[in-house]
């Protein structure tokens, strides 16, 4: 794991975000097994789940911090660190892998100068590998935020990144 994402990024939550979060908690508080949906919505609000956000959830839902931290670190989708403005996700599912998505992933690491799970220093791109997104017909596939790019070769990468300059 790279050092870049491990750097402590100061928490910049706004009062509006906090109000949204408290509303979400109030809505789910009495449901059985509400922690997962609350964490998912909290990540939608903040983009990640810093310790400050976990603390609010812990206090409001009366769940110990260590349980919340345990759940957050268990699931791949929850992130303790903010992602880049453009998050690149390369599918390493089997169908994409046998068609060369591993090469795409390596090439992106080389172009961006970061490892998987890291973010470039300017905060622009972050890179991660993901498991099958289900677009196997377009293999190999990568996504940049909501955009899907398929039937790729390593030579296509520079042009795709250029769109986000």
Partner 1 sequence: MKSLDEIKVIRDEMAAELLTRDESTEANGTKYRKHVLICGGTGCTSSGSAAIEKALAEELAKNNLTDVQIVKTGCFGLCALGPIMIVYPEGAFYSMVKSEDIAEIVSTHLVEGGQPVARLLYQETVTEDGIKSLNDTAFYSKQHRVALRNCGAINPECIDEYIGKDGYQALAKVLKEMTPEDVIQTILDSGLRGRGGGGFPTGMKWKLARNIVPDADQKYVCCNADEGDPGAFMDRSVLEGDPHVVLEAMAIAGYAIGATQGYIYVRAEYPIAVDRLRIAIAQAREYGVLGKNIFGTGFDFDIDLRLGAGAFVCGEETALMTSIEGNRGEPRPRPPFPAEKGLFGKPTILNNVETYANIPQIILNGAEWFAGMGTEKSKGTKVFALGGKINNTGLVEVPMGTTLRTVVEEIGGGIPNGKKFKAAQTGGPSGGCIAADNIDIPIDYDNLIAIGSMMGSGGLIVMDEDNCMVDIAKFFLEFTVDESCGKCTPCRIGTKRMYEMLDKITKGQATLEDIDKLEELCYYIKANSLCGLGQTAPNPVLSTLKNFREEYIAHVVDKKCPAGVCKDLLQYSIDAEKCIGCGMCARQCPASAISKTDYVAPGHKLPSLAIDTDKCVKCGACMPTCKFKAISKG
86-91 vs 125-130, strand pairing mode: parallel
Q: What are phi and psi of 90, to 5 degrees?
A: -100, 125
Q: Which stretch binds partner 1 (CB under 8 A): 10-18, 51-59, 90-98, 116-124?
A: 90-98
Q: Which stretch binds partner 1 (CB under 8 A): 2-10, 13-21, 51-59, 66-74?
A: 66-74
- Give yes or no for residue 141 binding partner 1 (CB under 8 A): yes
In the Cβ-directed half-sphere of 42, how many Cα atoms lie within 13 Å? 30
Q: Which of 24, 25, 39, 42 binds partner 1 (CB under 8 A)?
A: 39
Q: Which of 80, 130, 144, 161 binds partner 1 (CB under 8 A)?
A: 130
Q: Which stretch binds partner 1 (CB under 8 A): 1-9, 10-18, 93-101, 111-119?
A: 93-101
By CB under 8 A, the count of residues binding partner 1 is: 37
Q: Which of 26, 76, 115, 145 binds partner 1 (CB under 8 A)?
A: 76
User: Which tokens belong to 42?
Assistant: 């909290």
CA 42 to chain centre: 13
* Rounded Cα gap, residues 105 and 57, in angstroms: 35
Nearest to 125 by CA among 4, 1, 3, 10: 4
- Give yes or no for residue 120 binding partner 1 (CB under 8 A): no
Q: Which stretch binds partner 1 (CB under 8 A): 2-10, 11-19, 67-75, 157-165?
A: 67-75
Q: CA dihedral in degrees (45, 46, 47, 53; nearest 10)?
A: -120
Residue that the structure tokens 């870049």 belong to: 4
Minimum distance between the CB of residue 75 and partner 1, rounded to whole angstroms? Answer: 4
Nearest to 86 by CA among 127, 25, 142: 127
- Give yes or no for residue 94 binding partner 1 (CB under 8 A): yes
User: Which tokens belong to 40?
Assistant: 């998912």
Residues that bind partner 1 (CB under 8 A): 32-37, 39-40, 67, 70-71, 74-78, 92-99, 130-139, 141, 148, 150
């Amino acid at each position: 794991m790279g050092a870049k994402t491990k750097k402590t990024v100061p928490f910049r939550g706004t009062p509006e975000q906090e109000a949204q979060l408290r509303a979400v908690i109030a809505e789910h508080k009495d449901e059985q097994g509400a922690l997962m949906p609350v964490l998912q919505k909290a990540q939608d609000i903040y983009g990640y789940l810093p310790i400050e956000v976990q603390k609010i959830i812990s206090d409001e839902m009366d769940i110990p911090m260590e349980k919340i931290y345990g759940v957050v670190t268990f699931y791949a989708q929850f992130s303790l660190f903010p992602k880049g403005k453009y998050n690149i996700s390369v599918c390493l599912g089997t169908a994409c892998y046998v068609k060369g998505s591993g090469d795409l992933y390596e090439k992106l690491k080389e172009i961006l100068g970061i490892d998987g799970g890291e973010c470039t220093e300017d905060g622009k791109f972050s890179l991660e590998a993901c498991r099958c997104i289900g677009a196997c017909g377009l293999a190999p596939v990568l996504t940049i935020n909501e955009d899907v790019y398929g039937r790729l070769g390593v030579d296509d990468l520079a042009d795709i990144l250029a769109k986000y300059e």
